[in-house]
Structures are given as structure tokens and as C-alpha cells.
Structure 1
């Protein structure tokens, strides 16, 4: 049950080698993801004279994020769980699957990884600016917050169903690609409206490097609410100690 399994963790956990190794894995995975995602937008702008908001640009950016996250989750899954996102970490915390102290370590690592990725992009592109997330014309802050809540809910719900649920079975082997797909699909749905972050670290890196903070709070509040809500709902209604269906007899296979 949510809340029942929530734990702060012991102070020594913050310096335990396994926790530090997991945090490092989170930082590297987030760097890989943000470098590919942010870099795809910068590259498309350079090739098309700032046309990354065109339909073709949106598809290209969505594909880059989907592929980048697929790899980032896969390479971190066996070490840290492959969160690559403070909202995923928060959703896992609400469900009692990670302690508060370990979650804070993950958050720091994710934010640092995203920042380093954007600094590397700025250096390797000869000083091109990273693009902070922003709202499109006609989209209010309330609209954007709801967009981020809904999209991140879908993301974290997918993480629970394919990677966290103890009944996932062989479905866990395709968890990274499922997680990448939902992010790519959500970018196609919401990218033209608020950028479709779903990830506070993904928004933080470009904002810090470009020092653009307008409406930045949206990309924290929305994803954390969506991720926490997904964790609560999945733990309350979906996870059960017994199978929820009757297995088929072996001779039916």
C-alpha cells in the first residue's frame, strides 16, 4: 500500500557504496538521455533555421527522446532501476520502493547529469544556446500544469506496470522500450503546447545553462504531481499479492 512502505532510510545509506554507485548510474543515464534529447532539438534548429517546432521537427525530437530514454533506462536498470527522472523517483518513493535518502541522492545525480549534458552540448556546438522549456502562444500556466500531470502520470504508470510491479514477469525485459515509447508519444501529443518535459531534470539542465527560468516551476509541479499520483493509484488498485487472473492450463499453450 502507498504510504505504508515509505521510509526515510538510515543516514549511512547516503554514503553506502551501493547507493553511491546507483546515484552515479542515474547521473550517467540522465546525461545520455538529455544529451540526445536536447541535442536533437539543437541539431534540427541548425539544419532548418530554427524550425524544430514544425511537424517534422516535432517528430524528430520525439523519436530522439524515445530512443535516448530507451537506452538510458536500459543501461541503468540493473544498477539503479533506471529512473532517469526525479518524477519517477518520487513516484517510486510514494509507493515505498525507494527510501527518501536514496531518492535525494538520485535527484542530485539526475540534476547534475542533465546540467553536464547541456554544458557539453553548448561546448561541442560552438556556443549554441540550450532551449529552456516554454509555453506556446495561447497556452496558460494552468493548461501546462495539467498537461504535465497527465503526461507524467502516463509515464510513471508505465514504469510501475513494466518495471516495478512484482507480477511483471517477462514484461520487464521490454520495460525500457515501453518507457521510451510513452515519452515519445507524449511529446507528439504535448510538445507543441508546453514542450512536454515530464521530467524536472530534463527541464532544469537547459534552464540553468541558458539561465531562463520563466514558468520553470511548471516543469517541477506538474511532473511531481503526476508521478506521485501514478504511484499512489498503482499501489492502491493494481498491485496485489496474488495473481489477478487465472493462469491457463499448460496444455492450452
Structure 2
């Protein structure tokens, strides 16, 4: 009869709802907690460095800084948007360090992220070497950062890398970690910040902002001149951004003083 059929349907709906609730309550597996996020960091960093290097190696002279600026920024935006729910979409050691210092990731996973990002940077640079012509690759020194030629440039370059990395790391921390200012527009915000940084500071330091982006091309091209600048500057900028959020800009959960 219709009443019995309706009761059966309600029981089926109730049973399926209970099954969904059980699945939702089930804790994530080891693969989803540790392995999958690390794979995402490796793959995301690999493709970011690959696309970024190719944009520099194949840069059209008439485009100037605009081509690599748009490519790096848009690549970051796309990768952050599609992998944020898997790993948080760091793809950059200063981001991981800053997020760890603000309580957004455990130390064990942060260390794994750093290793995966550096491996991803090397793989991405290797992919760019395979894809581009030997002549273009040599002319661009494999997209390694070659703008620094003398010690006179060091002060400005280190300051530029530190300040610009501080800015983009602060955007990440406030947009993705700080509860009071979290925003779904983080991919757009980070991508735009990368673009404006490259347009503003490309002639000063090359605008690396990411040791993984520096390491891969340097290793593939064998170019290590002033390479340390692209570790000291970005990591220093990330630490400053984390300090600003922890001390002044963060909400009550993150801020360690004046609560």
C-alpha cells in the first residue's frame, strides 16, 4: 500500500543519511593526512617552477617583465585554487615556515613539505630544460637568477627579496590562516601579489621570492653566482611576515601579545 511504500522510502533515506554521517565522522587515512598532501606540494611546485622557467626562457623581448609576471602570478593562482583542499597549496618554503610559526601546520608535515618543494623545484626546472631549445635555454641560463653581477647590488637585492616575500607571505597568512581575515579570494590575492612584485622589483633582484624556484634552475644550469641571496632574502621575509601576524596583525588565537 502507499503508506508502507512511503515508510520504506523514509527508512532508506534515513539509512543513507546515517551512512553519510558515519563516513563524514571517519578520520582521514594516513594517505590523506600525510602522503597525498606531500605529493600535492611536490607536483604543484614542480609545475609552478616548470611554467615559470619556460616563461623566462621563451620570453619575448618586446614583452619585457610582463610575460613572466603574468605567467608566474596566474600559475600560482590556478595551482593554489585547485590544490588548497589537499595540501594548503604552499609551494614555497617561506610560506610553509610562516604557516608553521603561526600554528597552521605541524612540524613533521612542514619538514616533509619543504623537502617536497625543493624536489619539485628541481623536477620543474628539468622539465623546462627538456621542453625548450638548447639555444634559448643557454641564452636565459636556464631561467636561473643572473641579474646580480657585483657586490654593489647585494644590499638592494636582499632587501627587495625580503620585503617582497614578506608582502606575499603576509597575504597568505592573513588570507588563509588568520581566522579573522580568511578569504576565499586567496588564490586571486596571492597571484596578484606575485604579479605586482615581479613588475615592481624584477630589475632589482629578479623577484624570486621562493628558494625552490631558485634552486631548480641553478642546479640544472650550474649557475650559483649569488645564489644564497635567494635563500636569505625570501626566508627572512617569511620570518618577518610571521612575526607581524603573531605579534600585531593576527586574531586572538594566533596573536601572542595584547590579547
> TM-score, normalising length from structure 2?
0.79
- RMSD over aligned CA atoms reads 1.9
Deviation at 1:143?
Answer: 1.4
Aligned pair count reads: 218
* Paired position in structure 2 for 1:238: 249
Does the 8 Å CA contact 1:162/1:175 hold for their aligned counterparts?
yes
Task: Indicate yes or no: 2:232 matched with 1:217.
Answer: no
Task: Indicate yes or no: 2:42 matched with 1:27.
Answer: yes
Task: Please give the alpha-carbon distance, in whole angstroms, between the structure 1 residues aligned to 2:218 and 2:49.
Answer: 12
* Paired position in structure 1 for 2:178: 165
Task: Indicate yes or no: 2:205 matched with 1:194.
Answer: yes
Deviation at 1:137?
Answer: 5.7
Q: Which has the larger radius of gyration?
A: 2
Counterparts of 1:131-210 in structure 2 under 5 Å? 131-136=143-148, 140-169=153-182, 171=183, 173-210=184-221
Task: Indicate yes or no: 2:89 matched with 1:76.
Answer: no
Task: Please give the alpha-carbon distance, in whole angstroms, between the structure 2 residues aligned to 1:187 and 1:36.
Answer: 15
Unaligned segments of structure 1, at least 5 residues: 1-15, 243-253
Helix, strand or coil at the partner of 1:198: coil
* Paired position in structure 1 for 2:74: 67
Task: Please give the alpha-carbon distance, in whole angstroms, between the structure 2 residues aligned to 1:29 and 1:187.
Answer: 20
Task: Please give the alpha-carbon distance, in whole angstroms, between the structure 1 residues aligned to 2:97 and 2:74.
Answer: 23
* Paired position in structure 1 for 2:56: 41
Does the 8 Å CA contact 2:148/2:154 hold for their aligned counterparts?
no
Does the 8 Å CA contact 1:136/1:192 hold for their aligned counterparts?
no
Q: Which stretches of structure 1, 4 residues or longer, exceed 4 Å deviation after superposition? A: 136-139
* Paired position in structure 2 for 1:115: 122
Task: Please give the alpha-carbon distance, in whole angstroms, between the structure 2 residues aligned to 1:24 and 1:76.
Answer: 11
Does the 8 Å CA contact 1:90/1:227 hold for their aligned counterparts?
yes
Helix, strand or coil at the partner of 1:192: coil
Q: Which of 85, 105, 111 is the equivalent residue of 1:98?
A: 105
Deviation at 1:75?
Answer: 1.9
Task: Please give the alpha-carbon distance, in whole angstroms, between the structure 2 residues aligned to 1:23 and 1:59.
Answer: 32
- Whichever structure has more helix as a proportion of its residues is 2
Task: Please give the alpha-carbon distance, in whole angstroms, between the structure 2 residues aligned to 1:146 and 1:240.
Answer: 28
* Paired position in structure 1 for 2:13: none
Q: Which digits, 9 at most, give the CA deviation of each residue in 1:91-132, with x for residues without a partner?
A: 112222222221111111111111111111111224434121
